[in-house]
Amino acid sequence: MLRLCVLHLQKEKRMLGKGTKLYSILRLKCPRCNEGDFYKGRPYSYSGMGKVKENCSECKLKYNIEPWFFQGSYYVAYALGVALFIAVCVLKLIFFPNMGPGTLLISVIVSFTVFSLSIYALSKIIWINIFVKYDPAFLKKK
Ligand SMILES: [Zn+2]
């Protein structure tokens, strides 16, 4: 049992460890070096919402790879929104199966209000992670 837990933790460390896409996405770090911050200030506040830095402070990767690059992140935001909607529907069916459609509508509105900033912030970092690979040797190349 203990060995199973250790194996599980090692696998989890590999999935969330430095050098993975998940590390960059969840910690909002540069996709190439996993060191520099991706957003200016606090991305989960309305004042700092979606303000991406020009370059990575560590490896100097230009985040806005081409003009209108982050327009594509709207596809990711749409997918995250659909996933959130499905999750809310499933949770409503499991915990409140006898409540009417008004409950679902209110649940969807509340969840989108709560998670809108997260969806917006995550969509941009996921989008750039599709195009930029982790390169640990890049910092040494400088
Ligand atoms: Zn970097």
Structural domain boundaries in the chain: 2-141
* Ligand 1 center–CA 89 separation, angstroms: 38
Q: Are 53 and 37 in contact (CB under 8 A)?
A: yes
What's the pLDDT tens digit per position in 49-71? Answer: 778 999 999 999 999 999 999 99
* Ligand 1 center–CA 20 separation, angstroms: 13
**Predicted TM-score (pTM) of this structure:** 0.82
The confidence score (pLDDT) of residue 13 equals 61
Q: Are 72 and 127 in contact (CB under 8 A)?
A: yes
The confidence score (pLDDT) of residue 17 equals 83
